[in-house]
Amino acid sequence: MAFKKKKDIFFESLENMANTVVQAADYFAQNTGDLSNMVEFTDQMKKYETECDNYTHTIIKELNKTFITPIERDDIMALATTLDDVLDGLEATASRFYMYDLKEADEYIIQFSEILRESAYEIQKAVHLLSQKKLLAIREYTIRLNDLENQGDELLRICTKNLFASVQDPIELIKRKEIYERLEATTDSCEHVANCLESIIMRNS
């Protein structure tokens, strides 16, 4: 009887984090079109964020007691931190929707949510290749993540220009501007995951 090799705890935890990022980005994108049940929406996003934090704590705990790691300890920690930052960004944006009593998302928020959903799937595919040691294949996804971050930059320029041209109420303008900037910062966090993966490729291939 052949025994299946147990997956390394670090790779397993990083994959679990990437999977949670996908679940959260999916849920976020699916619900930005209808913000009528804001309490449920923010509660669920908080659950995803807590789940990701728990995986980070597992990684820290294991790093403290493991002498030999599959890749550099700093790389494991950096990747866990950047993955956690993506979920923190999504959850922080959801909480702003609640605090600012946002009744409906505009076209720009919906476009940002789709960019973030796509980015999450690219991250998931890349992180799952890590444990398979298919390092050079990860490049396809890091390039795509850089492209998606560029789309986020361009979208921020467009929506900010439109905001100042069309919204007269200063309070509403401040609210929308912060939400746009927080969403764009989360696309930056996705690119930071890509940069971290690039660093791992360079060190190990």
pLDDT digits (tens, 9 = 90+) for 131-169: 888 999 999 999 999 999 999 999 999 999 999 999 999
| Distance, CA of 23 to CA of 151 (rounded, Å) | 22
| Distance, CA of 138 to CA of 73 (rounded, Å) | 19
pLDDT digits (tens, 9 = 90+) for 66-108: 889 999 999 999 999 999 999 999 999 999 999 999 888 899 9
| Distance, CA of 73 to CA of 69 (rounded, Å) | 7
- Count CB atoms within 10 A of the CB of residue 30: 12
pLDDT digits (tens, 9 = 90+) for 189-201: 999 999 999 999 9
How many CA atoms lie within 13 Å of 6's alpha carbon, on the beta-carbon side? 4
| Distance, CA of 17 to CA of 78 (rounded, Å) | 13
User: What is the structure's pLDDT at 34?
Assistant: 86
Tokens of 115: 């960019």
User: What is the structure's pLDDT at 1?
Assistant: 46
Give the pTM. 0.94
